[in-house]
Amino acid sequence: MIDRELMRGAGPVAILKLLGHREMYGYELVEALETRTRGLLAMGQSTLYPLLYNLEAKGYIVSRWVEDGARPRKYYRLTSDGRKRLADDSRQWRDVATAMEALGIINGAEVALA
């Protein structure tokens, strides 16, 4: 399991990325993170739901209730602002990964950034 502080940086991007494909509901996201990342980025409901409310409040995602099936579900999808945010966050993650490699933390190479 991953540390809390690492999750702070990784959580939102992961959610935005998943919602970038198709609309999904909360419980589904919890399971998707568990299976798609083999538990590495797994987060509980008490982490996910507030995170979703936060992303919605900031306008990166929007929700709609669907009452068709057995239980009511709240589906979320990305807004255009959300796509921008996802693109920006992804760039930041690539940057950090680059820096981590430069320091020799991710890979053993440890070269100064040229």
Partner DNA sequence: ACTCCATACCTCGTCACGCATAGTATGTTG
Partner DNA sequence: CAACATACTATGCGTGACGAGGTATGGAGT
Binding residues vs its own copies (CB under 8 A) = 2-3, 5-10, 12-14, 17-18, 35-38, 40-41, 89-90, 92-100, 102-106, 112-113
Q: Interface with DNA includes 82 (CB under 7 A)?
A: no
* Least distance between DNA and beta carbon 71 (Å): 4
CB nearer to DNA: pick between 98 and 111 = 98
Q: Give the helix/strand (H/E) hosting 96.
A: helix 80-102
Q: Are 100 and 94 in contact (CB under 8 A)?
A: no
Q: Are 77 and 56 in contact (CB under 8 A)?
A: no
Q: What is 17-42 written as a DSSP string?
A: HHHHHS-EEHHHHHHHHHHHTTTTT-
Which residues form the interface with DNA (CB under 7 A)? 2-5, 7-8, 11-12, 25-28, 43-47, 49-54, 69-74
